[in-house]
Amino acid sequence: MTIAEELAKRQKKISVAEFFEKNRHLLGFDSKPKALLSAIKEAVDNSLDACEEMASEIMKKMERLKKKGKDISKLKEMLREILPNIEVRVMKASDRWEIVENPGPEERMVGEVYLKYGKIVDVVGMKLVSKSKEQILNSSRRALQYEFEADGYRIYVKREPAKEIPFYSVFLSSVKEGEKTVTKRFSLRTHVSRYRIWVEDNGPGIVKEQIPPIFGSLLYGSKFHRLKQARGQQGIGISAAVLYGQLTTGKPARITSRTNEKEPAICIEVQIDTLTNKPEIVFEGVDEHFKQKHGTRVEIELEGTYSINVAKFLKRTSIVNPHAQITLITPDGKKHVFKRTSTKFPKEPKEIKPHPHGIEMGILMRMLRTTKSRTLLSFLTSEFSRVGANSAKHILEKAKLKPNMDPRSLTREQANVLIKAMHEANLSRPPTDCLSPIGAEALKKSVYAELNPEFVVTTKREPNVYRGIPFQVEVGIAYGGNIKEGEARLLRFANKIPLMWDASACAITNAVKSMDWRRYGLNQPGGQGMPSGPIVIIVHFLSAWVPYTSEGKTAIANYPVIIREIKLALQECARELKKYLTKKYVMERKKRKMFIFLKYSDFLVDALSNLLDLRKEEVGKVIKKVLKERYGDVYEGEREVKEAS
Amino acid sequence: MCMKAKERLRKLAEEVFEQFENGENPYIEIPIRSLRNVRFDPEKGLIMMGGEKMKRYFLNVSHAKKFMQTLMVASFVKKLLDEKVTVDMRDLFYSLKIPIPGTKDNVFNEQNESDPIVEDLEVTLDLLREEMNLKADKKGAMVGDMVIVDGGDEIDLRRQGTGGWSIPSKVEQDVIQFKEHTAKFVLFVEKAAVWERLNEDKFWKKMDCLIVTGKGQPSRGIRRLLHRMRYELGLPVIVFTDADPWGYYIYSVVKQGSINLAFLSQKLGVPDAKFVGLTTQDMHKFDIPKSLGIKLTQQDIKRAQELLKYEWFKTKEWQEEINHMLKEGIKFEQQVLSNKSIRFVSETYLPTKLEQKDFLP
C-alpha cells in the first residue's frame, strides 16, 4: 500500500497533523537538513512540471496550426518564454527580527521588522514615524536609525555595529504613562534554525481558485497510479511542505501567482486546517511588485538547516534538466546560476496502461472496483496494455473465470487467481515509447556546463522492461578538469530528480560497485566498490513507475534486469573513457619524452657546434628538424611552455 | 698526441651530426666496461676487454642524458686541448655542473657521474685521459735508491724525508724519466702506515729496493709507474697487502689489471708481479695468535667467494689461501705484525719471506 492510500484511508480517523508527525520519515521531513531540501524539491518539481505542461499544450497547438498552414511564430515565441527560469532563495529567518520587550518570559510582540544584511526589507504591524516605508526600503545605507510607532509606543531601531552579527537594539521611548515619559528597552529576537524558502518560476501561473486546494490540502491532485514518467510519482506534493512549515513555525505559506500579463499578481497566504485537511486563507491581496509576466512564487517559512546539499541538489537537477535555468541565492547572499544548456523542451512522456506482468494485488483490486467495464473480458482488454481479446480469453480460461463476469463482483480469492494468470500470460512487452530521456548529446552538453570536466562520455540504452513496466537508463562519465581526485562521485537520478540519500541501498550504486573498473584503466581497490580518480558517474533511471525501495523515494530497488541495464550502459561509457585515457596517456608520455630531449638539445647544440666549429644556429636547425619530424604533434606547445618558463 | 685526440673527437661529433642530418636517432657506440665484456688472457696474464659494444642513443629517454653528457665532456676536452691546459677530474666536474634551464637538474650533479663518462670516452676514442689533458687525483708515495726527473726537476728518492715523493697522476715518459738506480726490486705496500714504518726503518736501504704505497687501491698513475719500472728497468714487482679479500684484489689489479679499466691492462698490468703477504697461512709460519685476527663479515665472505671464481685466482696456491681464510673465518691486517715487535715487519717478516721467496703467484 502506498502512503497516499494509507493517508487517504487514515485521514478520516486522525488529524493530518497527527498523521504527518507519525510519517515524517516517509515524507522526507524527518531531519532539519532534509526538511529544508524536501520543501525546495517539491516546489522546484512543481515549477518544472508546470512549465513543461504548458509547453506541451503550446506544442500541441502549434501542430494544429501548422497543419492548417497558419502562422506559428507567436507560439514559438511563447515556447521560448516558458523555458523554465527558476529562482530559489533560502533566507535565514533570523534575518527577520521580531521586536520584543527585553527581557522577559512574557514577550509581547509589537511588530515585525524584516531585515536583510542590515537593511530593512519590510515592516509589518507598525506605523512608521521618522520616514515613509518607501524611504526606508529604498535606502541603501545599512546602519540607519529608524523610528516606528506600535501599540502606542514609539520605537526606534539602531544598529549596534560593534557586534559581529548584525544586532539591533530597539529602544522604546516616549511611552506615555499618564504624564510621565518612561524609556523602556526592547531588543530583536532571532530564529536561528528558521529559514524562509522562496521558489519563483516563470510558469503559467495558478488561477486563484486552485491555489488554496493545491497548497492548503494534503493529497490534492493525485498523481498516483498513473503509469507515466513523472517527477513526483506519488504526489504527496507541495502541501506537505506547507504543513511542515506551519507545524514548525506557525506561519502560513505565501503564494504569489500571475496567469495573465494584464492582471496584477494575486497573493494568498494559506494554511491547512489540521483537523479537516481543508485550506484556510489567512490573507488575500495583490502584489504589485511581482516581476514575472506569468508565474508562481511559493514562500514557506520552516524549521530547517541549510546545507551544501541544497546547492548540490539544484546543480544536479540542472544536469538532468538542461532546458531549465536555476538560480540559487544562499542564506549568505551568494548567487549560484545553473545554466540552461538546451532550448528544447524534452518530449512529453506518455501515460500508458499497466501491463499484466507488473500488476499488484492492491492496484488490481482498486481497478476492479473503479472500472467502467461491464465484463471481465472488456476490463482486461481496455484497462491493460498488450491484452487483445485472444490473450484476455486465454487469461480468463486459465483463471477459470467467466469472461462476462462483472469485474466489481470479484472476490479477493478470485482476484488472486486472476493476478496469477495475468503474471503468467504470454504477452508482448509493454510499449516503451512512453519515456522521455534527456538524450546522450543533451546530457553531455549539460555535464560539460555544470561540472566543467576535461572529458565527458554519455550513452543511452534502449528501453527495457521490469515486471511489465518500461524503463530506460542513461549514463554519463565525466573525467578530469574541475573534478577532484579521490573516490569517484556518483550522481543518481530517477525521472529527472536527483536522488540524494540512501546511496548504499540503491540499484544504481550496486551496479557501479559491482563493476570491475580496473579493466577500464581506473583504480579500484580490490576490484570492487567505487572506483577512484577524478571522476563523476551520472546514472539517470527513467521509468513509467520507479520502483523505489521505500516510500521515502530515495533508492531504486535491485531488480536484476535494472542492474544489468545500468552495468551495460556503464560499460559502454567506460570503454570510451578507457580509449580516451589511453590516448591521453600515450600523448603525455610522448610529451614527457619530448620535454626530456628538448631540455638536453640546447646542450647538444653547444657541444656539437664547438666540436665541429659550426655556428650554433646551423646545428640547432638540424636537431630541431629531427625532433619536429618525430614529435611534431606535441612539439610546438612544449617549446612555448619551455620558453615561457 | 694532441692532434690525434682532436681528430678523434671531431670524428665522433661528425658521426653524430651526420645521423641528425639524416633524420636518424643518433647514437654513440661505446665498448662495454663491465665483467660481462672482459676475459682473462692466461697467455698474457692480463684481464683484457672483449669486443662488446653498446649503443647510446639520444632519442631514448634512459640514454638521452648520458648521450648529452658524453658530448658535453667531449666538447670540454676539445676546449682543454685548444687552450693547452690540463685539469683534474674534479675541475671537469665543476666546469660541467651547469644547471639545465626549467629543471632542478644539472648537466652533472656528482663527480661519480662525470668520471664514468670520461672513462667511456677513453674507451670509445681509444685515448688515455692523460692524452685528453685530464689527470686523476694523485695519491701514493715512493722512496728508494733511485734518482728521477719529474717535470724537468731532478729528484733523489733517497732524500725524501718521512713522506716520500708523491707520485703524480701523469707518469708518462714526457713527464717522468728514470735516471740512476741501484734497486733490485719494487715493493708495493697497501697501507700508508706500514709504508711509513718501512721508510723510517730504512728498509729500502737495507734490502736495496724501492718502496711504493697506493694508500689503498692504487691509482692509474701508480700502476703505470710500476709497469714502467718493471718493463723499462726490469725490476720485479712484489706486493704486500692485508690478508683479506680486498687486499688480494688490490694485488690482482696491480698484476692483471682491473675489470673497469680492462682496456688499459696492457699499459698498466704487471703480470709477473708476486705476492709476499700477508696471507692467513702466515699465522702458522710466524706464530701469530688467531685471536689477533678479525672475524670475516658477510661481505668479506661473499667477496672471497667471488675471488675464488675469478679466472686469475684459479691457481692452486690462491685457491688454497682463500679457502684457508674462509675455513678459519678470519682476516689479518698488515699491522698485526706489530704485535710481535714494532720492527718485526721490517726486520723479520719481510726479510724472511723475501729470502725464502715465499710468494704466492
pLDDT digit string (tens) for A314-340? 999 999 999 999 999 998 889 999 999
Whole-angstrom distance, CA of residue A316 vs CA of residue A489: 12
Distance from CA of A632 to the nearest CA of B (A): 13
- Asked if pLDDT for residue A1 goes beyond 60, the answer is no
What confidence tier does A474 reach under pLDDT thresholds 50, 70, 90? very high
Task: Round the average pLDDT of chain B to a whole number and report it.
Answer: 90
CB atoms A623 and B79 under 8 Å:
no
Name the residue among B10, B71, B101 with its Cβ closest to that of A607.
B71
Instruction: Pick A239 or A234 by higher pLDDT.
Output: A239
Enumerate the active-site residues of B: 94
Which residues on adjacent β-strands are paired with residue B237? B186
User: What mean pLDDT is predicted for residues B33-54?
Assistant: 86
Is B92 near chain A, with CB under 8 Å? no
Which chain B residues are within 8 Å of A629, Cβ to Cβ?
23
Instruction: Calculate what percentage of chain A has a pLDDT beyond 70.
Output: 78
CA atoms within 13 A on the CB side of A254: 17
Is B96 near chain A, with CB under 8 Å? no
Question: Which residue on chain A is closest to B59 by alpha carbon?
Answer: A597
Name the residue among A597, A599, A630 with its Cβ closest to that of B102.
A599
Question: Which residue on chain B is closest to A590 by alpha carbon?
Answer: B61
Note whether A119 and A139 are within 8 A (CB).
yes
Is B254 near chain A, with CB under 8 Å? no
Which chain A residues are within 8 Å of B82, Cβ to Cβ?
none
- Asked if pLDDT for residue A639 goes beyond 60, the answer is no
Distance from CA of B60 to the nearest CA of A (A): 8
Which pLDDT belongs to residue B128? Answer: 81
CB atoms A612 and B79 under 8 Å:
no
Which pLDDT belongs to residue B230? Answer: 94
Task: Round the average pLDDT of chain A to a whole number and report it.
Answer: 81
Q: What is the pLDDT of residues B130-152, one digit of tens each?
A: 888 888 767 889 999 999 999 88
Which stretches within A479-615 are classed as H helix? 507-513, 560-612
Distance from CA of A615 to the nearest CA of B (A): 13
CB atoms B101 and A596 under 8 Å:
no
The CATH class, in words, for B141-355 is: alpha beta
What confidence tier does A166 reach under pLDDT thresholds 50, 70, 90? very low
CB atoms within 10 A of CB A210: 14
CB atoms A600 and B17 under 8 Å:
no
ipTM of the complex: 0.75
Whole-angstrom distance, CA of residue A284 vs CA of residue A301: 18
Which pLDDT belongs to residue A146? Answer: 59
Question: Which residue on chain B is closest to A622 by alpha carbon?
Answer: B21
Name which of A247-261, B53-67, B130-144, B329-343 the model is least confident about.
B130-144
Nearest to A476 by CA among A453, A510, A500, A505: A453
Best A592, A594, A602, A604 member to test B by mutation, with max B CBs in 10 Å, is A604
Which chain A residues are within 8 Å of B97, Cβ to Cβ?
none
Q: At A163, give phi and psi (nearest 5°).
A: -75, 145
Which pLDDT belongs to residue A553? Answer: 79
Instruction: Pick A96 or A560 by higher pLDDT.
Output: A560
Which chain A residues are within 8 Å of B74, Cβ to Cβ?
607, 611
Label residues B192-215 b or e (16+ Cβ within 10 Å = b). Answer: bebbbbbbeeebbeebebbbbbbb
Looking at the structure, give the CATH architecture of the domain made up of residues A356-424: Orthogonal Bundle (1.10)
Q: What is the pLDDT of residues A586-595, one digit of tens each?
A: 888 888 888 8
What's the CATH fold of domain A440-578?
A: Ribosomal Protein S5; domain 2 (3.30.230)
Instruction: Pick A4 or B232 by higher pLDDT.
Output: B232
| CB proximity under 8 Å: B 218-247 to A | none
Distance from CA of B74 to the nearest CA of A (A): 8
Strands A194-200 and A295-303: antiparallel
Rounded to the nearest angstrom, the gap between the alpha carbon of residue A127 and the centroid of all alpha carbons in its chain is 41
Q: What is the pLDDT of residues B82-113, one digit of tens each?
A: 998 889 888 999 999 999 888 888 999 998 89
Whole-angstrom distance, CA of residue A585 vs CA of residue B32: 34
Is B74 near chain A, with CB under 8 Å? yes
Distance from CA of A77 to the nearest CA of B (A): 58
Measured between its terminal Cα atoms, the distance across chain B in Å is: 37
Which pLDDT belongs to residue A270? Answer: 93
Name the residue among A607, A622, A645 with its Cβ closest to that of B21.
A622
Looking at the structure, give the CATH architecture of the domain made up of residues A3-47+201-305: 2-Layer Sandwich (3.30)
Q: What is the pLDDT of residues B249-303, one digit of tens each?
A: 999 999 998 888 888 888 889 999 999 989 999 999 998 998 999 999 999 999 9
User: What mean pLDDT is predicted for residues A15-31?
Assistant: 76
Best B75, B107, B108 member to test A by mutation, with max A CBs in 10 Å, is B75
CB atoms B78 and A611 under 8 Å:
yes
For residue B240, give the H/E element and its range. Answer: strand B237-240
Q: What is the pLDDT of residues A269-310, one digit of tens each?
A: 999 888 888 889 988 988 888 889 999 999 999 988 888 999
Which chain B residues are within 8 Å of A603, Cβ to Cβ?
68, 71-72, 98, 100, 107
Which pLDDT belongs to residue A161? Answer: 44
Which pLDDT belongs to residue A98? Answer: 54
CB atoms within 10 A of CB A149: 17
Which pLDDT belongs to residue A289? Answer: 83
Nearest to A465 by CA among A555, A545, A556, A391: A545
Total residue length of chain A: 645
Rg (CA), chain B: 23
Which chain A residues are within 8 Å of B78, Cβ to Cβ?
610-611
Is B107 near chain A, with CB under 8 Å? yes
Q: What is the pLDDT of residues A142-155, one digit of tens each?
A: 445 556 655 555 55
Total residue length of chain B: 361
Which chain B residues are within 8 Å of A619, Cβ to Cβ?
17
CB atoms A599 and B101 under 8 Å:
yes
Name the residue among B12, B61, B71 with its Cβ closest to that of A604.
B71
CB atoms A626 and B17 under 8 Å:
no
CB atoms B101 and A602 under 8 Å:
yes
Best B11, B24, B63, B71 member to test A by mutation, with max A CBs in 10 Å, is B71
3-state secondary structure of A224: coil
Distance from CA of A626 to the nearest CA of B (A): 5
Q: What is the pLDDT of residues A483-517, one digit of tens each?
A: 999 999 999 999 999 998 888 899 999 999 999 99
What confidence tier does A156 reach under pLDDT thresholds 50, 70, 90? low
In eight-state DSSP terms, residue B61 is T
CB atoms B71 and A608 under 8 Å:
yes
What's the CATH fold of domain B2-135?
A: Arc Repressor Mutant, subunit A (1.10.10)
CB atoms A611 and B58 under 8 Å:
no
Note whether A108 and A81 are within 8 A (CB).
no
Instruction: Pick A65 or A468 by higher pLDDT.
Output: A65
Residue written as cell 523505489?
Answer: A548
- DSSP calls for A434-500: T-----HHHHHHHHHHHH--SEEEEEEPPPEEETTEEEEEEEEEEESTTPPSSBPEEEEEETTEEE-
Residue written as cell 669486443?
Answer: B51
What confidence tier does B72 reach under pLDDT thresholds 50, 70, 90? very high
Q: Burial of A350 by CB count in 10 Å (0-12 exposed, 13-18 middle, 19+ buried)?
A: middle
CB atoms B20 and A622 under 8 Å:
yes
In eight-state DSSP terms, residue A168 is E
Whole-angstrom distance, CA of residue A454 vs CA of residue B337: 77
Name the residue among A596, A619, A629 with its Cβ closest to that of B23.
A629
Which pLDDT belongs to residue B17? Answer: 93
In eight-state DSSP terms, residue B100 is P
- Asked if pLDDT for residue A125 goes beyond 70, the answer is no
CB atoms B107 and A603 under 8 Å:
yes
Domain residue limits, chain B: 2-135, 141-355
User: What mean pLDDT is predicted for residues A518-538?
Assistant: 90
Which chain A residues are within 8 Å of B10, Cβ to Cβ?
611-612
Q: What is the pLDDT of residues A168-211, one digit of tens each?
A: 444 444 444 444 444 444 555 555 578 889 999 999 999 999 89
Q: What is the pLDDT of residues B328-351, one digit of tens each?
A: 999 999 999 998 899 999 999 999
Which chain A residues are within 8 Å of B14, Cβ to Cβ?
612
Note whether B88 and B169 are within 8 A (CB).
yes
Whole-angstrom distance, CA of residue B51 vs CA of residue A68: 95
- Asked if pLDDT for residue A136 goes beyond 60, the answer is no
Best B18, B20, B92, B121 member to test A by mutation, with max A CBs in 10 Å, is B20
Which pLDDT belongs to residue A534? Answer: 94
Name the residue among B24, B72, B102 with its Cβ closest to that of A603.
B72
Whole-angstrom distance, CA of residue A127 vs CA of residue A203: 36
- Asked if pLDDT for residue A223 goes beyond 80, the answer is no
CB atoms A602 and B20 under 8 Å:
no
Name the residue among A602, A611, A626 with its Cβ closest to that of B75.
A611
